Amino acid sequence: MKSRLNRGWMNFSVVAFTVALFLVLANMGDSKAYGASSEKGTKKIVVKLSYCTSPETPKGKAATKFAELVHKKAGDRIDVQVFPSSQLYGDKEELQALMANNAQIIVPSITKLVAMNPSYQVVDLPFLFRNDQAVYKFWDGKGGQTLLRKLEKQGLLGLAAWNNAPINIIGKKFFKTPQDFKGVKVRIPAGQVTTDVFGALGAGATTIPFSEVYTSLQQGVTDAAISSVNNFDTEKYYEVTKFLSIIDLQRIEYIALTNTTFWNGLSEDIKKILSECMNEAAKYERDISDDLNKHSLQVMKSKGVQVYVMSDKEKKALEELFVPVYKKWTPRIGEDLVALAREAGK
């Protein structure tokens, strides 16, 4: 009896050892397959993408498209979680969240980055980009590639520029002449260039988080706000103000940013997938942006908003007041960068 028990125990031990050895070898195989340390084991890569605007904006639709493209190419290996409308992080927190790797991608207006590098204010120079074609030529060329890599020393990497739309102004009245701006309190996203632009017009500029603009207009904290027509529509500013002036003053441009800690921990094939999908999403945003802004203009009109389109002659009167702004900021932004922007418009 004792002999049979010993033989049974020995057989169990052999089986247990064999199973354990198989599991160890299988685990070693998995480790090799996943490569980079951030991808070891079967744990999927989670990418939290946070942004502040509505999912119905060009940026929102591009973010959704990016997630769809990644899922199509990578399957369950990468889980892109999209958080619109400041659900995860707002204007004030998103950059810090990215640097702490609490978010892996954010898509801020590039004016949010001016404190880290003044070159990003090139899009804030008034009337510098005359049309979408000039914008695309700049961002697809040396100028855009330079800006995407400006923050690598600070641990941030630009994956792609998401081009949006011209900046216009909505408020309690029309803006046709320099006199119309005097004494007006205007909400701006950020940036000293824009502050100086409105200062040259005799207006006051104040920076307010995007999620608080509706309330600031409603309560009279600000008299007007600048943004794209699509943002005016999707944020329902037509409920609290009824005068829209189309002036094409500056540009709203976004940069899809990641942090280098996250990015450098990825394998090359994962980087390739994310980069390709990001570029496809950027192209998609370009394709839909103009149509969405045109649609939003019609929505605004249907909601009782009156619209005034500034003439070239009226823009010229404003331009003359902006000469000191260019003299002050061109050297700080970069002579070469401004020259590239001008060249793109020719």
We report the CATH number of the domain holding residue 71 as: 3.40.190.170
Can you say how many angstroms the Cα of residue 128 is from the centroid of all Cα atoms in its chain?
A: 21
Beta-carbon neighbour count of residue 49 at 10 Å? 22
Greatest CA span in the chain, whole angstroms? 109
Within-domain flag for 16? no
DSSP label of 44: P
Dihedral sign computed on CA atoms, order 180, 182, 183, 189: positive
Could you give the 3-state DSSP secondary structure of residue 21?
A: helix
How far apart (Å, rounded) are the C-alpha atoms in residues 103 and 106? 7
Q: Which strands sit side by side in the sheet containing 156-166, from one edge to the other?
A: 78-83, 45-50, 105-106, 251-259, 156-166
Within-domain flag for 208? yes
Within-domain flag for 285? yes
Rg of the chain taking only CA atoms, in angstroms: 26
Within-domain flag for 110? yes
8 Å CB contact between 254 and 110: yes
- What is the reported pLDDT for 190? 84
8 Å CB contact between 162 and 253: yes
8 Å CB contact between 307 and 94: no
Within-domain flag for 10? no
Beta-carbon neighbour count of residue 131 at 10 Å? 11
Within-domain flag for 194? yes
8 Å CB contact between 161 and 235: no
Task: Name the residue among 46, 53, 112 with its Cα closest to residue 84.
Answer: 53
Within-domain flag for 98? yes
- Which domain range does residue 307 map to? 37-341
Q: Which two tokens stand for residue 63?
A: 């973010």
8 Å CB contact between 277 and 82: no
DSSP 85-144: TTSS--TTTHHHHHHTTSSSEE--BGGGGTTT-GGGGGGGSTT---SHHHHHHHHHSHHH
- What is the reported pLDDT for 42? 53
For residue 278, give the H/E element and its range: helix 268-302
For residue 328, give the H/E element and its range: helix 323-333
- How many residues appear in the chain? 346
Total domains, the chain: 1
Within-domain flag for 171? yes
Beta-carbon neighbour count of residue 320 at 10 Å? 9
Q: What is the mean pLDDT of each run of 10 residues along the chain (346 residues)?
A: 41 39 34 36 87 95 98 97 96 95 97 93 96 96 96 97 96 97 95 96 96 97 97 98 98 97 97 98 96 97 98 96 98 98 94
